[in-house]
Amino acid sequence: MSGEQELGITESKAHNPGDWYAEVVRKAGLADYAPMGGFIVTRPRGYALWEGLQSHLDGWFKETGVQNAYFPLFIPESYLEREKDIVEGFDPEVAWVTHGGYDELEERLAVRPTSESIITPFMAQWIRSHRDLPMRLNQWCSVVRWEATDTKPFFRTKEFLWQEGHTAHRDGEEAWEETIRRLDQYERLYTDVLAIPALRGKKPDHDKFPGADTTTTLEALMPDGKSVQSCTSHYLGTSFAEAYDVTYADEDEEEQLAHTTSWGLSWRALGALIMTHSDDQGLVLPPTIAPEQVVIVPIWQEDTREAVLEYCGDLRDELDGAGVRVHLDDRDERNPGFKFNEWELKGVPLRIEVGPNEVEDGEVTLVHRPDGESEAADRSDLVEAVEGALDTVYAKLYAAAEENLESNVREADSRNEILGTIGRHGGYVKTGWCGEEACEAEIKEQIAAEIVMVPMDEDEPPIHDTCGVCGEGAETTAYFAKSY
C-alpha cells in the first residue's frame, strides 16, 4: 500500500463503468488478474463474499432436501458425447486434458464445463425404485469454459466458481416444482442478501441450456443499463434421463423415465453485487454479506488516547458479543481521515466514530456507508442503534436498486422504437415478439441487445398483437436488453 493515491478510485462509475469496475475490484482487494488471460485470483476479501453467499444458499438447499456431493473434475469425451445437445453446446469451449505425466491419454478428458454428463449416469446407477426419488444433489466447484473474451472479474472468466444442483423426479410436475423452488431460493438470495431486485422469466427457446425443456432465469439490471443473467434453473424434461438411462420402478413395478432438473448460480452474483451498489469511493456492501459490518475509528489526541481507546474497546466487545461483525481500527500509524477512506473503499457498511466528545457525552456517532448520513446514538442503546442503522443501510441499497429497475422497463412497438429506447436509456424494452430468432438477430446486430427473457407464463397474452421487429403476429412478450 503506497498511500493515499493507491487508495483512491480514480475512474467514474457514471462515465467509465468498465474501468471503474475493474479498479474497485482491484483496489478493494477482491481479485487480481492471473498470468493466463481469462483467469483471476480471488483474494481473501473477494472469497469472503463467496463464503457469505454460500452460507445462506447452502443452508436453504439443505433445508429443502439437497445433499452435497463431489464429482470428478474431468469428464471423458465419450460421456459428453452421449447427450448430443450438450456436446454441441459446449464443444467449442471445452478445455482438454490430453497428457498425464509424460504419456498421452487414450481418451481426451474435458475439464468440466458443467456436470450433467457425469452426474446423470451415476444417478442412473443409484436410482432403482420410486423410493429413491426425488434425488437431489449439489456440488460447489469450479468449471471451465474456454470463451475468447475480455476478462472481467466475476463476470467473464474462463474458470469460475459456482454451485450446480442436479435432481431427478418421478414426473414432470414434481421436476417443474423443483425448478421453481430453486429459482425462488435464488430470488431470495438476491432480494434478502444481495439487496438486488430482479425480473423473473425464461429464456427464449433458441437460448435455452443445451438439452433443456425450459431454462428459467433472474435478470438483474446494472446501473449502466445492462442486464445480468443472475442464475439459471433448468427443467430438463426426460432428455438427459433418456440419454443416460435414468429409470425407476414405480409402485406397480413398471419401469418409468425420470424427469431431471439442474440449476446453478456462479460468482457472477458477486459481480452484480459489486457493480450494483458500489460508487466512486469504492466498494459498497450490504451488511448481510459484508465481512465487517461495522468499523470503529477512534479519534484522539495524545491526552485523550487512553480514554478513547478504552471506550472503543468496550464498544467492540459489546457489539461482538451481540453477534455483530465488528473491527476496531486502532492502528497508530494511520490518521482517522486515511482510515475513513480505506474502509469506505473496502465497503464496510457502518462506521462508528469516537472522539473525546463522544466519550464525555456517552454517545457514539454512526455514519452510513452508502450516503455518509450520520446519526448520534446513546452509548446505552449501542446494539439497538447499530442493528437499526444496518437495517437502514440495507433498505437504502435495496430501494436504490429497485428504483433503477422499475424506472428502466419500457415498452416499444417498432424496430426504431426498440433501437432508440435501448440506445438512449439502456434498461429493458418490452415488445411483442413473433418467436423467430431472426428478429432478435436483427436487433442484436445493430445495438448488441438481445432477448434476455420472455414471461414464464405461456398463457399470458403478448403485450402487443404484433412483433415489434417484423410486424407479424406476436406469440409472446420479449424483454430486450444489452447484457453482460
Rounded Cα distance, 199 and 216, in Å: 11
> Which of 315, 228, 316 has the alpha carbon at shortest distance from 272?
228
Least distance CB 154 / a copy of itself (angstroms): 12
Distance in Å from the first CA to the final CA of the chain = 32
Q: Which is nearer to a copy of itself, 43 or 305 (CB)?
A: 43
Of 72, 172, 323, 461, which one interacts with a copy of itself (CB under 8 A)?
72
Least distance CB 464 / a copy of itself (angstroms): 40
Piece in contact with a copy of itself (CB under 8 A), picked from 32-40, 178-186, 249-257, 403-411:
32-40
Our CA angle for 47, 344, 312, nearest 5°, is 95
Q: Which is nearer to a copy of itself, 117 or 216 (CB)?
A: 117
| 60 is a contact residue toward a copy of itself (CB under 8 A) | no
Q: Which is nearer to a copy of itself, 32 or 192 (CB)?
A: 32
Q: Which is nearer to a copy of itself, 146 or 338 (CB)?
A: 146
What does the per-residue mask of binding to a copy of itself show for 163-202, with x meaning CB under 8 A? ----------------------------------------
Q: Which residues of 295-322 are buried (b: 16+ CB within 10 A; e: fewer)?
A: bbbbbbeeebeeebbebbeebbeebeee
* All cell numbers assigned to 256: 418409468
Q: Which is nearer to a copy of itself, 74 or 338 (CB)?
A: 74
Please tell me what DSSP assigns to residue 189.
I
Angle between the N-to-C axes of helices 172-188 and 44-63, in degrees from 0 to 180, rounded to the nearest 10: 140
Least distance CB 418 / a copy of itself (angstroms): 33
Rounded Cα distance, 263 and 285, in Å: 26
> Which of 396, 400, 442, 402 has the alpha carbon at shortest distance from 419?
442
Rounded Cα distance, 18 and 32, in Å: 15
CA distances from 42 to 264, 342, 456 (A): 20, 20, 35
φ, ψ of residue 367 in degrees (nearest 5)? -120, 125
Q: Which is nearer to a copy of itself, 1 or 255 (CB)?
A: 1
Residues 74-113 that bind a copy of itself (CB under 8 A): 74, 76, 79, 91-102, 108-109, 111
Is the distance from CB of 202 to CB of 215 less than 8 angstroms? Answer: yes
Of 158, 277, 316, 415, which one interacts with a copy of itself (CB under 8 A)?
158
Least distance CB 47 / a copy of itself (angstroms): 5
Instruction: Tell whether the torsion through CA atoms of 57, 63, 64 and 69 is positive or negative.
Output: positive
Residues 284-313 that bind a copy of itself (CB under 8 A): none
Q: Which residues make up the interface to a copy of itself (CB under 8 A)?
A: 1-2, 32, 34-36, 39-44, 46-48, 50-51, 67-74, 76, 79, 91-102, 108-109, 111, 118, 121-122, 125-126, 128, 131, 137, 141-142, 144, 146, 148, 158-159, 161, 333
